Amino acid sequence: SQKIEQNSEALNIQEGKTATLTCNYTNYSPAYLQWYRQDPGRGPVFLLLIRENEKEKRKERLKVTFDTTLKQSLFHITASQPADSATYLCALDPRDNYGQNFVFGPGTRLSVLP
């Protein structure tokens, strides 16, 4: 069956450390993968998109990698801050319906402790 997993439901790290979140998928061949941030009581907000032919993408303190052989994306937040505490969702384009639909992982709730 097709599914997306994110490494853990919750992750606690100390302020200043690097947070690493994992997204694994099976039985998809996505053209690209996205990461979203969701705060309590709010809708997800787009952060980064990485294409299948890109190994790595950076935006400020965020870094995303994409390994299509391992079927895995890693999301890193360097020099983490308490304001980074949120749930992070990965989403992929399943390459059917020409990108009309997205498939989301269940999310990882990150807590950055001061």
Partner 1 sequence: NAGVTQTPKFQVLKTGQSMTLQCAQDMNHNSMYWYRQDPGMGLRLIYYSASEGTTDKGEVPNGYNVSRLNKREFSLRLESAAPSQTSVYFCASSERWGAEEKLFFGSGTQLSVL
Per-residue tokens: 107: 């999310």
The nearest distance, CB 50 to partner 1, in angstroms, is: 10
Residues 76 and 63: their CA atoms lie apart, in Å, by: 5
By beta-carbon proximity to partner 1, the closer residue of 98 and 114 is 98
Q: Facing residues of 35 across strands?
A: 48, 90
Nearest to 58 by CA among 45, 77, 73, 71: 77
The nearest distance, CB 79 to partner 1, in angstroms, is: 26
- Residues at the contact surface with partner 1, assessed by CB under 8 A: 4, 9, 31-32, 34, 36, 41-46, 49, 51, 89, 91, 93, 97-102, 104-107
